[in-house]
Structure formats: structure tokens, C-alpha cells
Amino acid sequence: MARPIPLRAANLDAVAALAVPVPSYDRAALAPRILHVGVGGFHRAHMALYTDDAAAGGGDWGIRGVGLLDSDRRMSEALRAQDHLYTLIERDSEGSRPRVVGSIVEYTLVADDRAAFAQRVADPVVAILSLTITEGGYSLQHENPTIEAIADGLDARRLAGGNPLTILSCDNLPGNGNVARAAVTAVAERRSDTLARFVGASCIFPNSMVDRITPQTQSADRSWLREEVGVEDEWPVVCEPFRQWVIEDHFVAGRPRWEDVGVLFTEGVHDWELYKLRMLNATHSCLAYLMALAGVVYVDEALAIPTVRGYLERFLATEAIPTLVEIPGYPAAGYAQTVLERFENRGVRDQIARLCIDGTSKFPSFLIPTVERQIEVGGPVECAALALAGWARYLATVPAAERAPDPHGGRAAELASRSLADPAAFLDLDQVFTEPLRRSERFRDAFSAACRELAASTPLEAIETLTGSD
């Protein structure tokens, strides 16, 4: 086999000769009007791809990536070596389809130089500051260097003339724009009234709903690209075919014509957010820790177990969907079926371990609101209670070195250990369990029963007991 072609601008014609689509537009003509914090797999499979599609249709918006953390160093090195190009591999059960994405035209690591980041935010060319900083990245319970750096940048922008700026959160949070506004405003108010007034008058924070399953890149993905396609890429990104982006159309300094490439603009995204959070994300939460305890490695493997699929179908039909407002033209039952079909995708090989990351930050948005609503109306909570009991048992029985990362999970692990003797002790975790749930005898009983069932049987047996499967 011929030597693989290193991915870089000078080699795009050779890559195209391998039948791999490459950017058809002049990347040098793109204006870096988007400054993005948090260039990882999801950003590259989602916003950067939509922007690439828009550029292919005649748009001239480009993305300037920036890394604020030392952990961004590897991404900086990989993109710099490839002229900021990367391969996106779209996979389903039928096969893999690679393409080269060119919308990121610059990437700068500023982990040791917040002033350099501030200068980029102040650049009048920048019209959108976009963020993928994770669900927990907006918390101000402890020092938050990312939000502090954004405040530095906005102060520099104010001093440079105060051009308006759209701050677009692309994180998987309900009301992500509202959350970003609250965090940035709180830090600005601590700095000065002048900065707080600038943020309030000149910055806008649209809410958005983002969706695409994007597993972590594996060595096997690089090997497949190198050996089967003939392209050498330091950090390709793998994703499912499905993608969705719904955004409030509130921008103060322009935006790409993303609506031409499939983005839905609306006056409000709340109902869309709830569809995703309470069906897709909550179903991930139902799978994560129970399947980790059962030794299941991949999501599609879990869906191939009839009792597991039945458990998810029951959760969706009886606990999640009844809490939702139906979106005209988009029935909740159809969305739920699509979710399960996406999970069955054997090509993506989404890892259960990925779903287990940051449980303490995810549960309050993904699963707890459904439980609260069902407790309010006297509805069922048994499926959700089993998922939460699975999380407690995972924290209590899996060694810390083997657990998925959870930066805010120290107290959760401590209470989980206590819950082995007294299941209700875990409900003292006020980071996750709201006061109505902690007071609810019905929820406490369901959770405690699920904990006892998991202590007495395997996770799959516990699911069978719950669903009545043979």
C-alpha cells in the first residue's frame, strides 16, 4: 500500500484524489469572525462542520480556535501541524464516510497568557464568541479561570471601543445562553459597574440546543483512516450521521447563514431542549452506570440486550414523554424512537465510559427534572430511581482510579459509600437532589428499593425485575 498522505493544505489535491471530499472554497478568504473556546471533538463535529458547509455555499465566516487550558496543548499541536485541517468520519452501521473540514483557520494556545486571549476577544473582526466548555464549565462555586478570562476579554473589548458581541454557548445545558449570561455577568459585576453595564448593553447570549453523538477518538480510528483511506491525521473526529442545532435568532453583530445548511432558527428553544435533555441525555444517564457495572463497553451492545432496550422504552414512554410539551410536527414518540435507533448505531461505537463522565454535573439537567415532575403529578419514577441507584453503586464499588472523571464528584462518592448501609444517605447530595426530592417519601422508597435490588442481584437482573422481562 502507498504511504499515507499527511493531512495539510499543500496535500489537499492528493487527498481529494482518494475520493475524500475536501474544502471547495478558498480558506484564505474566510474572515475569522468566530472566536471559539473549547475546540474538541463535539465542536469539530458540529459547529465547525455547519460553518464548513456554509463556507462551501459561498459564506465567508471562519473560526479562530483558542485553548485556555494546558490540556488544550495537544489539540493546538495537532491542528497546527495540519494547517488547522482535520478529518471528520461519519459512521453508521453501513460504513464510514470521511471528509476534510477547513472552517477552523487559526488556533492559539493561551493557557499561560490570558492577556493574549483578551486581545483576541477585543479584536473588532470578532462578532461571535462561542463556547464548548462542558456542563460544569459555568459554575462559580469555585474559582473559574475560563469565565474570568472571558471577563478579561470583554473588558479589553470595552476599552477598545466596545463593539457589540454575541456570546454563543454550544454546551449541552438547558438555557445555556442564560447560564452563560449569569456566569459572565456575575464575574463582571465583581470587577466593576462599568464592565457589568457593558456586558448588559453590548453582549447578547442566545440559547441553543445542540445534538450529535461524538465519541472520543480512538487509535483504531486513526489506523482505519491511515490504512483503509490513505490519510494521516493526528486527531480525526468520529460522529454519527444525525446532527441538529436549534438557535434563538438573537445576534448583535451578524452570523453565518447556517439556516442554509440545516440549522433551525427560532424565537425560543426551550421545548427543543427538553426533548433532548429528557429523552436522549436522560436515556444516556439510564444506561451509563448500570451498563458500566454490568461490564458492557459500548452503547450499541447495550441496546442489543432486549431487557435493556425494554427498560429504556419504558423510561421514555412512562416517565420522560409525559413531562414534555409536544412540538408541532415533531411528535415526542417519534423523537424517542429516533434516539433508540441512534443508540443502535454499530459504526459509532460510543463508549459507556464516556457517558459516565461528570455525573454530578449531568444529572441535575438530564434526569432530575423528569423525576421532580413525576413526583409532582404522582407519576412513575422507578426507571429513573434505578438509574440513580446504579450511579450510587458505581461510585461506592468501582475503585476511584477506574471511575470516569467527575471533577465535582467528591461528595457524591463519599455519600455513595455511606449508601451501601443506608441507601437514603445518598439523597443528602444537594448538588443533585433538590429539596422536593429529598422530602419525597415515594422517591426515597423507590430509590432505596432500587439500591437494595442492585445489592442483591446483577444490574441486568435488576432491570429484568423492574420491567417484568423473562
Rg, C-alpha atoms of the chain: 23
pLDDT digits (tens, 9 = 90+) for 187-226: 999 999 999 999 999 999 999 999 999 999 999 999 999 9
Report, as an integer, the average pLDDT of 283-301: 98
Whether residue 272 is predicted with pLDDT greater than 80 in this model: the reply is: yes
Helix axes 368-377, 359-366, angle to 10 degrees: 40
Confidence bin at 136 (pLDDT 50/70/90): confident
Amino acid identity, position 40? G
Say if residue 88 is in the same domain as residue 210: yes
Of residues 372 and 111, the one with the higher pLDDT is: 372
User: Does the pLDDT at position 403 exceed 80?
Assistant: yes
Tell me the three cell numbers of residue 282.
436522560
What size, in residues, is the chain?
Answer: 470
pLDDT at 468 (0 to 100): 86
- 73, 194: one domain: yes
Q: Is the pLDDT of residue 438 over 60?
A: yes
Pair (122, 182) in one structural domain: yes
- Look at residues 240, 266, 292 and tell me which one is the last residue of a structural domain: 266
The CA-based dihedral angle spanning residues 73, 77, 82, 86, taken in that order and rounded to the nearest 10 degrees:
-30
Tens of pLDDT, residues 342-380: 999 999 989 999 999 999 999 999 999 999 999 999 999
Same domain, yes or no, for 87 and 227?
yes
Count Cβ atoms below 10 Å from residue 31 Cβ, excluding itself.
Answer: 14
With 60 as the cut, is the pLDDT of residue 469 above it? Answer: no
Name beta bridge partners: 86.
Answer: 101
User: Residue 221 has which C-alpha cell?
Assistant: 480510528
**Do 290 and 143 fall within a single domain?**
no
Query: Do 386 and 314 fall into the same domain?
Result: yes
Q: 468: phi > 0 → left, psi -120 to 50 → alpha, else beta; which?
A: left
Supply 357's cell numbers: 463522565
pLDDT tens digits, one per residue of 306-322 = 999 999 999 999 999 99
Does 112 or 226 have the greater pLDDT score? Answer: 226
User: Is beta strand 31-37 parallel, antiparallel or unpaired with respect to 61-67?
Assistant: parallel
Q: Which amino acid is at 4?
A: P
User: Mutual orientation of helices 382-397 and 368-377 as an angle, nearest 10°?
Assistant: 140
Q: Mark which of 220, 249, 266 sits at the end of a domain.
A: 266
**pLDDT for residue 2:** 83
Residues 437, 440, 445, CA angle at the centre, nearest 5°? 105
Q: How confident is the prediction for the chain on average, in pLDDT?
A: 97
Residue 326 pLDDT > 50: yes
pLDDT at 1: 60
* Beta-carbon contacts of residue 71 (< 8 Å; ≥ 6 apart): none
For residue 88, the cross-strand partners are 99, 237
- In this model, does residue 327 exceed pLDDT 90? yes
Which pLDDT value is given to residue 264? 96
In degrees and rounded to multiples of 5, residue 309 shows phi and psi of -60, -40
Same domain, 304 and 379: yes
Last residue of a domain, one of 266, 288, 304: 266
Provide the CATH number for the domain around residue 415: 1.10.1040.10
Could you give the CA distance from residue 239 to residue 219 in angstroms, rounded to a whole number?
A: 15
If asked whether residues 246 and 182 sit together in one domain, one would say yes
Instruction: Verify that 364 and 381 share a domain, yes or no.
Output: yes
Say which residue, 288 or 135, is predicted with more confidence: 288
On whether the CB atoms of residues 135 and 358 are closer than 8 A, the answer is: yes
Q: What is the pLDDT of residues 217-271, one digit of tens each?
A: 999 999 999 999 999 999 999 999 999 999 999 999 999 999 999 999 999 999 9
- Same domain? For 20 and 130 the reply is yes
Give me the CATH number covering residue 103. 3.40.50.720
C-alpha pair distances (Å), 294 with each of 291, 304, 358, 390:
5, 14, 19, 10
Taking 3-state DSSP, the helix, strand and coil percentages for the chain, each rounded to the nearest 5, stand at: 55, 15, 30
CA 301 to CA 303: how far, in whole Å?
A: 5
Q: Is 209 helix (H, G, I), strand (E, B) or coil?
A: strand
**DSSP tag of 161:** T
- pLDDT bin (cut points 50, 70, 90) of residue 141 is confident
Q: Output the CA torsion sign for 113, 119, 122, 127.
A: negative
pLDDT for the residue 470: 43
How many structural domains comprise the chain?
2
Same domain, 361 and 222: no
Residue 408 to residues 139, 251, 358, 451: CA-CA distances in angstroms?
A: 10, 33, 7, 22
Residue whose grid cell is 444516556: 284
What is the domain extent for residue 34?
5-266
My answer on whether 127 and 238 are in the same domain is: yes
